Structure 1
């Protein structure tokens, strides 16, 4: 059901989004920003920016449309839950699983599995990705944080935006490195020649990936990547850009590569401040069996 609110301001205050989220607990600052963008929030009968400074005497009208019906069906799919409490879940997503429904992938997603596991997931305006704060690609395995309510979603999204969380990946890549570590700072946007791909482009969004070489084999290397930003396909695009495509990557890698179930990329470490307590939480998940077996084979071939 849609909801309407009216707030009469008695004293000067700070930002519009902060004020509303504190007055109406059901609305996170992220949701307020979305409503402002959709012109569903008026200040003195006018649309204002989320940064508008509240003044004494302001009248705020808020219209919250009904959330689009969630047509995602809960499915009894096993989940590898690393951590769960009343506001957040950390899950180790298997390789081959899509995070949320999309054209071509209407079901059998992580969201379908989460909805079967719990009804406590933060709503999303689109309806098809409740609880989802960030994503990893279908054939990338590893750790994801899931929000169970609006406040948790806002906190986790703010940590992503301000780069205060921790995300470390392991990747098996093509080639040998002449350096032990490095930083790839190259903007990423849609590939102008292939809309299915991303690329390093001049007018793209800022993207920064830090990498460290953990081990080198014959023709391949095991590296650790730490994300500073979170662009679509960022690690895959950046590593291809410097000539070290992720092994097994069907989109950005060479045809002659390691046999597997897609790219050898795993979200190994995830750290963030707990949305309610502020305590730092950090989790580690070992790569899937095919990743570990491939490392053992590369080790043996390099002896």
Structure 2
């Protein structure tokens, strides 16, 4: 077997487990060896390590089996921007899930450590801070549980807030539900989008195993994205996307359906709308970043606003495209 075997999930494989798909793609390898690859983080889905053999695949997923462990983000890759008894604001690295899938929650600690989720990583950082402050080893038990009030796609980097108390959780969820929280993303996309508000109803399966928009107003969830172009990058553009709603993959779907695929988006790069987009951008990963986050502090009412530039990988990609376009 070569160092790496990669393939794209076709429509007829949608809903199968990663393990089952690996078995079909590498028929010469036993079930036990494939399980070992997963346990050792030697399998990736869309460039990100996958340790769960039960994970269900979607159309367009790119699955690869490697001879070496896939590098995964660790707690030190997470930056804490604000922490108090009620909230914590962080910058999530690309490749880190916000929280675990239900089937992964009972994994042993050693396996979780290979690929920590954001909530686990943040808790680890908080515990380290507490131990550094007073030298006690039982700080993990004393820390309040982190409560998720919104999420970022695994491949998306950027700003996210978590609640540390029930009161804060209820308040923040209310702000996101009423659309008073401020959320702005930066994306590098194919083509040249116009300034517009995209509104559609999104469903989990539009008929080909992927999320997408449907014309029936009685189906799915309403999704609204405000798009504003920021800079012409030749064949590409830097755009700002302000969320009014926060559905799964919302920005990626809305832009792809307009023919403006987000660079590095493997999942929606196949024929998704009327226009086929061949991604030759050589993006290092999904070029989507949660750049701005604003909300009222759930206890004090103080208006808080955070802004984070592109991380190094996307900054270098952006500068390269910019240099070519000028």
TM-score by length of 2: 0.64
- Mind listing any 5+ residue stretches in structure 1 that lack a counterpart? 1-74, 123-129
- Correspondence for 2:263: 247
- Correspondence for 1:131: 147
Partners of 1:96 and 1:229 lie apart in 2 by 23
SS of residue in 2 equivalent to 1:171: strand
- Provide Cα deviations, 1:86-144, integer angstroms capped at 9, x if missing partner: 1100000011111111147963111211222345444xxxxxxx421111011100000
Judged with a 3 Å threshold, the aligned counterparts in structure 2 of structure 1 residues 104 and 251 are, in CA distance, closer, same or farther, namely farther
Q: CA deviation at 1:83?
A: 1.0
User: 1:209, 1:225 within 8 Å by CA — same for their partners in 2?
Assistant: yes
Partners of 2:87 and 2:173 lie apart in 1 by 13
Do residues 90 (structure 1) and 89 (structure 2) align?
Answer: yes
Counterpart among 64, 75, 78 of residue 77 in structure 1: 75
Bigger helix share = 2
Partners of 1:183 and 1:80 lie apart in 2 by 32
- Mind listing any 5+ residue stretches in structure 2 that lack a counterpart? 1-72, 127-139, 270-276
- Correspondence for 1:188: 202
Judged with a 3 Å threshold, the aligned counterparts in structure 2 of structure 1 residues 267 and 121 are, in CA distance, closer, same or farther, namely farther
Partners of 1:76 and 1:259 lie apart in 2 by 25
Output aligned runs, 1:88-237, within 5 Å.
88-102=87-101, 103=103, 107=112, 108-118=116-126, 119=140, 120-122=143-145, 130-177=146-193, 179=194, 181-195=195-209, 197-201=210-214, 202=216, 203-237=219-253
Q: CA deviation at 1:257?
A: 3.1
- Correspondence for 1:289: 312
Q: CA deviation at 1:258?
A: 2.2
User: 1:209, 1:235 within 8 Å by CA — same for their partners in 2?
Assistant: yes
- Provide Cα deviations, 1:177-226, integer angstroms capped at 9, x if missing partner: 3x3x111011111123343x310113221110001100012210000000
Query: Which structure: larger Rg?
Result: 1
SS of residue in 2 equivalent to 1:185: strand
User: 1:121, 1:131 within 8 Å by CA — same for their partners in 2?
Assistant: no
Partners of 1:221 and 1:115 lie apart in 2 by 37
Partners of 1:211 and 1:189 lie apart in 2 by 21
Q: CA deviation at 1:255?
A: 4.5
User: 2:186, 2:239 within 8 Å by CA — same for their partners in 1?
Assistant: yes
Partners of 1:286 and 1:261 lie apart in 2 by 16
Partners of 2:254 and 2:104 lie apart in 1 by 26
| Alignment: residue pair count | 219
Judged with a 3 Å threshold, the aligned counterparts in structure 2 of structure 1 residues 156 and 300 are, in CA distance, closer, same or farther, namely same
- Correspondence for 1:15: none
User: 2:292, 2:306 within 8 Å by CA — same for their partners in 1?
Assistant: yes
Q: CA deviation at 1:286?
A: 1.0
Q: CA deviation at 1:260?
A: 3.3
Which has the higher mean CA deviation after the structures are superposed, 253-262 or 207-216? Answer: 253-262
Partners of 1:295 and 1:76 lie apart in 2 by 25
User: 1:95, 1:261 within 8 Å by CA — same for their partners in 2?
Assistant: no
Q: What value does the CA root-mean-square deviation take over the aligned residues?
A: 1.9
